[in-house]
Amino acid sequence: MAVPEVNKKLLEQLEDMGFPRGWATRALHYSGNSGIEEAINWFVDHENDSNIDEMPLVAVDIVIDCQPFHITEQMRIKAQELRFSFERIRASKELTEAKQTAKANERERYLVSWKAEKEDEKRARERILKKLEQDKVERRFRVGLPSERPAALKSSPLQGKKLQNSVPVKSVRKAEQLRECLRSLNRNHQDEGTTVGRVLQTLLIYVGNVAKNPDEEKFRKIRLSNPSFQDRVGNLSGGLEFLELCGFEKTTEGEFLYLPRDKVDMKVLNTAGYELTSAMTNPFLGLLSH
C-alpha cells in the first residue's frame, strides 16, 4: 500500500487554501484529480468521515493528468468555510474525547477509593468484634461464669487455667459485706463519680490477678506506700476495707497488704469480682452516681 499520486499543482493550491496535506490528498484522490471545485465538493460530502484526517493508501499507481487549473474567488471562500467547519468538528471531537477520558479516570479513582474505604471498615469491624469477644471472656472469667472462650483466645495467658464451670455459690453474708463496703465507698465519694469508677476498676484488677494467678506472690502482695495504690485505693474510704474482706491482711510492720496462699478463697474472690463488675455495669444497684 502507498500514498496515491495526485495532481501536485492542485495539491499545492489546496494547501495554500489552508487544507492539511492529508485532507487535500484524500479529496483529490477520491474526486479523480478532476479539479479544485470537485475536491471541495468532495469535502462537503465527506466532512463527517471518521478517517478524514488519515492519509489515503492505495495498492496501485494512478496516472495523473497535470493540466493547470484556475482557482476562482468563490472556490477559495468555499474552501475556507470548509476548513473552519473541519476545525470546529475536530475541536469538538477532541473536547468530547477529553471529557470522556476525564470521566473514566474519575470513575476509576472513585472505585479505588470506595474499595479501600470498605476494606478499612471491614478490618475495623473485625478488630472491634474481636476486642468485644475478648473482653466478654475476661469478664466471665473474673466473676467465675462458665467459660465460652473462642478459638481465637487459645493462646491467651489464661490457657491451661481451670475456670469455674458454674456460677459460684456465694456466701450470702460475705457478698452482703462486700456490697455494703462498695455502697459505703460510693456514699463517701458520691460527688467524685470518676474517682469511684477508677477505684472499682483498680480493685477488680487486684482481685482478678489473684484469682488467675493464686500461686504468684507478687499478685498477693501490695505495698501500701505505693503512690499509685494510694491515689487509686488507699486514700479512699472503703478501698482497703474491700481488699481486707477479700482476705488481704496488713503485715506486722504495716508495710504491705498480703494475702497468704493458704487463705486464698476462690469463692470469695469470684464473689468480689461479681460485685465489682455489677457495680460498674448495673445502674440499678445504686452503687454509682449518675
Dihedral sign computed on CA atoms, order 205, 263, 279, 257: negative
Question: Which tens digit of pLDDT belongs to each residue from 161-188?
Answer: 443 444 444 467 888 898 888 888 888 8
CATH code of the domain in which 186 resides = 1.20.58.2190
Question: Which tens digit of pLDDT belongs to each residue from 53-63?
Answer: 778 877 655 55
Domain final residue pick, 71, 103, 124: 71
Please indicate, yes or no, if residue 90 is contained in any of the structural domains.
no
Euclidean distance between CA atoms 49 and 97, whole angstroms: 17
* pTM of the model as a whole: 0.40
% of the chain residues with pLDDT over 70: 80
Please indicate, yes or no, if residue 43 is contained in any of the structural domains.
yes
Please indicate, yes or no, if residue 87 is contained in any of the structural domains.
no
Structural domain boundaries, residue 18: 8-71
CATH code of the domain in which 49 resides = 1.10.8.10
Would you list the DSSP string of 16-67?
HTT--HHHHHHHHHHTTT--HHHHHHHHHHHTT-TTTTSPP-BSS-------
| Structural contact between residues 289 and 193, judged by C-beta atoms closer than 8 angstroms | yes
Number of structural domains found in the chain? 2
Please indicate, yes or no, if residue 142 is contained in any of the structural domains.
no
Please indicate, yes or no, if residue 34 is contained in any of the structural domains.
yes
Please indicate, yes or no, if residue 19 is contained in any of the structural domains.
yes
Please indicate, yes or no, if residue 259 is contained in any of the structural domains.
yes
| Confidence band for 148, pLDDT divided at 50, 70 and 90 | low
Please indicate, yes or no, if residue 85 is contained in any of the structural domains.
no
Question: Which tens digit of pLDDT belongs to each residue from 223-261?
Answer: 988 888 888 888 888 888 999 999 999 988 888 999 999
Question: Which tens digit of pLDDT belongs to each residue from 33-49?
Answer: 888 888 888 888 887 88
